[in-house]
C-alpha cells in the first residue's frame, strides 16, 4: 500500500468531558466536535481538530485527536484504562482509498486483522491491525471519506 494521511491518533480517556476541558483550556483547541455514542464499538467518541499549517487559521485537514471513553462495562478500551487510569495514546489511524484492497494487502503480508471490516466513527469502513504485528502500535486503517471531509 501507499502510506495515506494520518487521519487521527486515538486517545483513551476515563472522561470525555474532562478531556474536552483539557484540550480547550490547557492546549487551546478551538474546534472540538460534539461527543457521540458508538455502541457497536463500545465507546463514546469526539474529535479535536488540529491546524494543518502553523501559519494558517484553518483547522481543516490537520490530524485529529480522537477521544474515546468506554460506553459500557464491555468496552474494548476498559482493559487499556485499567492499566492507564488517566488515559493515554491508544491507536493511530491511516487513510486508504479502498478498504477491501488494503485488507487484502495486510492479510497477504501475514498481519493479524482484529475482527471484520466495520463502519467507524467517520462513517466509512475500517479495520484494526494487531499491535504485535505493527511494532507495538494498534493501527486502524480507514477508507477516506468520499466527500473529503474528516
Closest CA to 129 of 99, 97, 150: 99
Closest distance to its own copies from the beta carbon of 71 (Å): 19
Does residue number 50 form part of the binding site for its own copies (CB under 8 A)? yes
Q: How far is the CB of 53 from its own copies (least distance, A)?
A: 6
Question: Measured on CA atoms in the order 72, 88, 98, 150, is the torsion positive or negative?
Answer: positive
Grid coordinates representing 73 are 462495562
Choose the stretch contacting its own copies; rule: CB under 8 A; options: 37-45, 59-67, 71-79, 115-123: 59-67
Sheet holding 36-38, edge to edge: 36-38, 43-48, 64-70, 6-12, 88-96, 139-143, 125-129, 113-119
Task: Answer for the pair 65, 9: CB distance below 8 angstroms, yes or no.
Answer: yes
In the complex, the smallest distance separating the C-beta of residue 89 from its own copies, rounded to whole angstroms, is 4
Residue 147 engages its own copies in binding (rule: CB under 8 A): no
What is the spatial distance between Cα 126 and Cα 77, in angstroms, rounded to a whole number? 17
SS3 89: strand
Cβ pair 11, 93 in contact under 8 A? no
Closest contact distance (angstroms) between CB of 77 and its own copies is: 12
| C-beta of 37 vs 109, nearer to its own copies | 109
Residues marked active site are found at: 140
Answer for which of 95, 103, 120, 121 binds its own copies (CB under 8 A) is 95
Nearer to its own copies, 36 or 52 (CB): 52
Q: Binding residues for its own copies, per CB under 8 A?
A: 1-6, 9, 11, 13, 18-19, 22-23, 26-30, 48, 50-55, 61-63, 65, 84, 86-89, 92, 94-95, 97, 106, 109, 111, 131-132, 134-137, 144, 148
Amino acid at each position: 500500500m501507499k502510506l495515506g494521511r494520518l487521519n487521527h491518533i486515538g486517545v483513551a480517556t476515563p472522561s470525555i468531558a474532562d478531556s474536552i476541558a483539557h484540550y480547550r483550556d490547557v492546549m487551546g483547541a478551538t474546534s472540538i466536535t460534539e461527543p457521540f455514542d458508538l455502541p457497536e464499538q463500545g465507546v463514546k467518541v469526539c474529535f479535536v481538530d488540529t491546524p494543518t499549517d502553523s501559519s494558517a487559521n484553518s483547522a481543516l485537514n490537520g490530524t485529529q485527536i480522537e477521544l474515546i471513553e468506554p460506553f459500557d462495562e464491555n468496552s474494548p478500551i476498559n482493559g487499556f484504562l485499567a492499566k492507564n487510569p488517566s488515559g493515554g495514546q491508544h491507536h493511530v489511524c491511516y487513510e486508504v482509498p479502498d478498504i477491501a484492497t488494503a485488507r487484502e494487502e495486510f492479510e497477504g503480508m501475514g498481519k493479524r486483522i482484529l475482527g471484520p471490516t466495520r463502519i467507524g466513527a467517520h462513517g466509512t469502513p475500517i479495520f484494526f491491525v494487531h499491535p504485535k504485528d505493527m511494532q507495538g502500535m494498534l493501527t486502524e486503517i480507514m477508507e477516506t471519506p468520499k466527500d473529503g471531509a474528516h
